Chains A and B, each alone.
Chain A
Amino acid sequence: MILNVLYFADLRELVGAPDEALECSAGATMADAWQALRTRHPSLPDEQTLPILPVLNRRYVSWSEPLADGAEITFLTPVSGG
C-alpha cells in the first residue's frame, strides 16, 4: 500500500520536503511506517530525543494503529501554538 506522508516544522526541515510517498506492506502500523521513514531519513529523531505523536487522517492515534492504502499520515513534534 502507498501512504502519503506529511512533514511539519522541524521534521519538515530535517527531511527537506513537506511530503512524500511511502510504500508499506499490508498490515503495517504507524510504528512500522515511522521506522521505515527513520531508515530512509536517518536525521529524523528517535522518540527519546523528541516526543513524536503519530497522526492518521488528521487524528491522533496510537503507534499500533493499522494503516490502509491511501492514508494520510504524519508524525508531530510537541506543538507550540498560541
Chain B
Amino acid sequence: MIVGCNIKILFGLQEIDSDNLIAYIKDDTAGAVVGFEGTVRNENAACTVRSLTYEAYEPMAREQIQAVCEEAATRWNLKKIAVQHRLGKLAVGDTAVLILVSAPHRREAFQACAFIIDEIKGRVPIWKREETEKGSRWLHEGTGPPATGT
C-alpha cells in the first residue's frame, strides 16, 4: 500500500470479472471511479483481425505493473487501483486489459488511469501476436522503459 492506496493486480488466462473489480475499487472516500477497458478490435492496418494471442514474461510483467501502479499512487491522490491483463488467445470483442482507479476527485482518477495504460503499453513485457486473413505477426508498439533503465 502506497500512501493510503490499495493496489490489486490480476494476470493470466482467466476471464476478466469486471463486476468483481468494480466492487473492489469503490471506496467511501472516493468521489470518482475511472476505468479503461482494452478490447480486441476487428481491424488493424487495413487487415481483418481474427484473434490476438498474448504472451508475457510473467514475473517481470507483474513487477512492472506493480511499479507502474505505485508510481501513479505517488503522483496522484488515489484510493485504489485494480489492473487485470489477460494472456492467451483472445477473440474479437474480448477484453484484454481492464484498469480501474478510484480517487477523491475525477481529474486525478482520469490522469492516473491514462498514465497506467500508457506505461503498461510502453514497458511491461507483454506481447501480442495478431492473426489476420493475411497471416500472423508479433506487434511491437512499446517505447521501452524510462531512460533511467528501471
Interface residues, chain A, with chain B CB atoms under 8 Å away = 6, 8-10, 50-51, 53, 55, 58-62, 74, 76-82
Contact = CB atoms under 8 A, between A and B. Distances in A.
Contact of B140 (A8, A50, A59): A50
Majority SS at the chain B contact face: mixed
Contacts of A10: 127, 138
Nearest to A13: B138
B81 interface: no
A8 B87 CA distance: 13
Contacts of A76: 57, 125
A60 B150 CA distance: 6
Contact of A55 (B60, B97, B122): B60
Interface of B: 38, 54-57, 59-61, 63, 85, 96-97, 117, 120-129, 138-145, 149-150
A47 to B, nearest CB: 12
- Closest 10 A/B residue pairs (Cβ): A81-B126, A79-B142, A78-B140, A9-B127, A80-B139, A58-B60, A82-B121, A60-B145, A10-B138, A78-B142
B142 A8 contact: no
